[in-house]
Structure 1
């Protein structure tokens, strides 16, 4: 099944002082995508207001989420959203939540804080918890995800509240060393899903192999294992959608060095053979 691309150069969900690099990263990826199947969401220029909440820049985040949600809802093919920060997944995943869809969340951070537990107020650290039903009211899906349909893969930087939440749920967790094609297939099959949404925060990768990040975490997933795992998932399961986020090159040289990895991941997401 063909896929379409949606460029979402959002930076407002990031808590990093380097957040504006995410805009450059999204634009760099956009330059290597086919224009005929690539659309764009306009992101507000202003940072946005918290709207009386503890979530930074919530007004802009809400605007972007609504625009992404509208695009994904109208699409007839799976949409691969290109960030920007991983907060863009609030609008991208909500429309495809269904009993037959599992979400594989490749990320160095679990993004399972709530507005009350977040140490930073940055939505990027709350987005998965929001999709599970605990987050800013205007960003929580009408029918939230079930933890049993989520596979957290490659995470290695947990806050205490996130660890407590995981201890209380049946969410499958694969550490970086467990991210293999076989283990990923086994985890998704255990959910009973026939379709899969693949979220990729590029900080899931080992920073020794990929430098263009705002929040690198050591001892990540090797590129070859991530590519092989995604390819296996898309061969076995129908792709419901995907997101690639957190590409933040510091300069043109870093972008050129790391773009081949991004393109390998896009190829893996779109490589399913016709049957």
Structure 2
């Protein structure tokens, strides 16, 4: 993957009390990316309004989605999108789906399955709804249209361990493939699951909270028993050996301070290396 980077320091999709650190995290990563192939999408300072959508800060999230879609439009190759919160994957997957119609799977590595809608979300935060929006279900303005949505049979979840009851019910009722952390110790189960989708290309959504807190401290929410960086990089390498990477998101970096960011950046750069070399 010839690396092109788009940095989107969006925090408005998160309901964490540390949400604004997500903007700092995106900026910290940007500082270590090659400037000649890195672009930044401006994110408003203001939080935004729900506008009766059931989604907190909906107005700002729609604005950033449109700005990111514009930044990605016309590109022909894969892009590594750096959040911010995981809502940046909406426009990024939409772009990849237009470039790979009817042949794109999504591998969603995240402590949260993000399968809520405004009707089921206990928080109103868009970060809990993003994957559901990718399959075309959610609020108008923050969901994919029929021609670019990703069908559930081409979605593979991995590493989710903060699953709400409504999400668990959806996973069971619709037969969504969801691999627990233990199944990701070696790449075979994930490769087999992606192979079973029939897709030849995949988009990798990576929320860094899929990692164990011992591997990365700068997370908005800490969930134990996650992946190590080494295990994650083995998964990425195995997937790329068999399938074409259409693009990727790295989201969820929320360092407490510039010094804390410096401690975590070597691990994040190793992940970026696995995605781009």
- The question of whether the paired residues in 1 share the 8 Å contact of 2:43 and 2:64 is answered with yes
Match for residue 134 of structure 1 among 118, 137, 149: 137
How far off its partner does 1:253 sit?
2.6
Which piece of structure 1 moves more, 243-252 or 97-106? 97-106
1:150 aligns with 2:150: no
How far off its partner does 1:77 sit?
1.5
- The question of whether the paired residues in 1 share the 8 Å contact of 2:104 and 2:150 is answered with no
Match for residue 118 of structure 1 among 108, 121, 124: 121
| Counterpart in the other structure of 2:176 | 171
Render the CA deviation track for 1:146-181: whole Å, top value 9, x for unaligned.
111011000001101001110111321110111132
Alpha-carbon distance in structure 1 between the residues aligned to 2:4 and 2:196 = 28
Structure 1 length-normalised TM: 0.96
Alpha-carbon distance in structure 1 between the residues aligned to 2:142 and 2:69 = 10
Q: Which runs of 5+ in 2 are unaligned?
A: none
Alpha-carbon distance in structure 2 between the residues aligned to 1:158 and 1:170 = 15
| Counterpart in the other structure of 2:223 | 217
Q: Which runs of 5+ in 1 are unaligned?
A: none
How far off its partner does 1:96 sit?
1.8
- The question of whether the paired residues in 2 share the 8 Å contact of 1:234 and 1:268 is answered with no
How far off its partner does 1:105 sit?
0.3
1:266 aligns with 2:264: no
| Counterpart in the other structure of 1:31 | 31
**What secondary structure does 1:66 align onto?**
helix
How big is the alpha-carbon RMSD for the aligned residues of Structure 1 and Structure 2? 1.1
How far off its partner does 1:223 sit?
1.6
Equivalenced residues, count:
271
| Counterpart in the other structure of 1:7 | 7
**What secondary structure does 2:174 align onto?**
coil
How far off its partner does 1:73 sit?
2.8
Alpha-carbon distance in structure 1 between the residues aligned to 2:41 and 2:176 = 31
Render the CA deviation track for 1:11-39: whole Å, top value 9, x for unaligned.
00001111111111001100111111100
> How do 1:22-171 and structure 2 match up within 5 A?
22-97=22-97, 98-143=101-146, 144-171=149-176
**What secondary structure does 1:124 align onto?**
helix
Alpha-carbon distance in structure 2 between the residues aligned to 1:246 and 1:113 = 18
Which piece of structure 1 moves more, 103-112 or 174-183? 174-183
Which piece of structure 1 moves more, 22-31 or 179-188? 179-188
- The question of whether the paired residues in 2 share the 8 Å contact of 1:152 and 1:173 is answered with yes
- The question of whether the paired residues in 2 share the 8 Å contact of 1:105 and 1:198 is answered with yes
How far off its partner does 1:10 sit?
0.1
Alpha-carbon distance in structure 1 between the residues aligned to 2:188 and 2:260 = 32
**What secondary structure does 1:7 align onto?**
strand
Alpha-carbon distance in structure 1 between the residues aligned to 2:53 and 2:23 = 25
